[in-house]
Amino acid sequence: MKNMFNIDRQVEETMRSLDGMQSASPGPFFYTRVMARLESSQKSIWENISAFIARPVVAFAVICLVIIMNTIAVVQNKEAAPFFADQMEQVTEDDLNLAVNTFYDYEIKEP
Amino acid sequence: MNNPPTDEWFLIEQLRLRDESAFKSIVARWQDMVFNTAIGIVQNAEDAEDVAQEVFLQVYESINTFKGESKFSTWLYRITITKAMDHIRRKKRKKRFAFMQNLFGSDNETLYEVPDFNHPGVSLDNKERAAILFKAIDQLPENQKIAFTLHKMEGLSYQEASEVMNVTVSAMESLMHRAKINLKKYLEKYYNNSSG
């Protein structure tokens, strides 16, 4: 019983040990050290550019832009497709004819 | 909208223009507040200095994101807490990694016990008890630890601390209540073990 009372007293005293504590301060010349760190963290322009490009938002935006431009290109090509198909037809008929024509073919008159 | 006092606002505006003297004034004015909060959370003077420096670098770089919707000190407290908690997580990760290395014998360095933390603001006759209490505080869940640090060590009222933590005043009271219960449990166990 006495031991329990003693422990409770210890706990209460420990809980009160921070009462009236003073605020802690950093060492002298703190600002100088902050400035030194700030200067060392200032990156060159190329480092800044590469860091900007590597940002997930920027990378995602660039990927979206490429996809959109590709989609536009595909849609525009589809619209122009009939003309392209006609051309292909002509090409296959006129130029890709594998039959070998000799002058006999032209001379033969059908009855 | 909670507009800061005129001189505070002037410093903020000047810092936005990258005025070095304004930055110097801001550091001089809030360095103790930032350092004291950081040391309460990380419980190491060197780490707290490191965190405090990171906080002011962040302030310098992202002052344009401060819209004046809260007090400047509230904004500073939030940055400090985030940086301090990040620091603790990084340190824990390193410790786990070192432990694993030690376990698999790839590193011959011995793992040292963390020494007791002595807060420089605690009076000499309370140092020993405060070191035990700080050990107990370190065992608290994150939000209870932050609530306890802001209220007990920084001396913020429940209202002010709740604004920093972005919770209601009653939630803040509940956090403090649970923190005190957990601390008492830890201390009872500690004194039971040391007396038995």
Over residues B132-187, the pLDDT tens digits come to: 999 999 999 999 999 999 999 999 999 999 999 999 999 999 999 999 999 999 99
* Percentage of chain B lying above the pLDDT 70 cut: 92
Chain A residues whose CB is inside 8 A of the B48 CB are 24, 26
Q: What are phi and psi of B5, to 5 degrees?
A: -55, 160
Structure tokens belonging to residue B88 = 């603790």
Asked if B119 and A21 touch (Cβ cutoff 8 Å), the reply is: yes
Max Cα–Cα distance, chain B, nearest Å: 63
Structure tokens belonging to residue A69 = 């431009």
Does residue B12 surpass a pLDDT of 70? Answer: yes
CA A13 vs CA A77, B103, B150: distances in Å: 82, 40, 21
Residue B7's CB is within 10 A of a number of other CB atoms, namely 10
Distance (Å, rounded) from C-alpha B16 to C-alpha B181?
A: 45
Average pLDDT, chain B: 90
User: ∠ at Cα A32 (B83, B77), nearest 5°?
Assistant: 25
The string of pLDDT tens digits covering residues B24-79 is: 999 999 999 999 999 999 999 999 999 999 999 999 999 999 988 899 999 999 99
**Which chain A residue shows the shortest CA-CA distance from B38?**
A24
Residues in chain B whose Cβ is within 8 Å of chain A: 24, 27-28, 31-33, 35-36, 39, 45, 48-49, 52-53, 56-57, 60, 119-123, 126, 129-130, 132-133, 152-153, 180, 183-184, 187-188, 191-192, 195
Q: Can you tell me which residue has the tokens 């210890």?
A: A10
Q: What is the pLDDT of residue A94?
A: 60
Average pLDDT, chain A: 79
Q: What is the pLDDT of residue B92?
A: 87
The string of pLDDT tens digits covering residues B177-189 is: 999 999 999 999 9
Distance (Å, rounded) from C-alpha B139 to C-alpha B136?
A: 5
B28 vs chain A: nearest CA distance in angstroms?
7
Chain B residues whose CB is inside 8 A of the A10 CB are 187, 191
Are B132 and A24 in contact (CB < 8 Å)?
no
- pLDDT-derived band at A23 (thresholds 50, 70, 90) equals very high
Instruction: Identify which of A14, A83, A110 has the alpha carbon closest to the alpha carbon of residue B133.
Output: A14
CA A20 vs CA A17, A23, A110, B113, B154: distances in Å: 8, 10, 122, 29, 11
Rounded to two decimals, what is the model's pTM? Answer: 0.73
The string of pLDDT tens digits covering residues A51-104 is: 788 888 888 999 999 999 999 999 888 776 555 555 555 655 666 666 666 666
Are A31 and B24 in contact (CB < 8 Å)?
yes
Of A17, A26, A38, the CB nearest to B130: A17
Distance (Å, rounded) from C-alpha B82 to C-alpha B97?
A: 23
Distance (Å, rounded) from C-alpha B19 to C-alpha B184?
A: 49
**Which chain A residue shows the shortest CA-CA distance from B50?**
A34
Instruction: Identify which of B59, A66, B65 has the alpha carbon closest to the alpha carbon of residue A58.
Output: A66
- If you write DSSP's letter for every residue of B44-64 in order, what string do you get? -HHHHHHHHHHHHHHHHHHGG
DSSP, collapsed to helix, strand or coil, labels residue B86 as: helix
- pLDDT-derived band at A12 (thresholds 50, 70, 90) equals very high
Residues in CB range of B152: below 8 A, 6 or more apart? A18
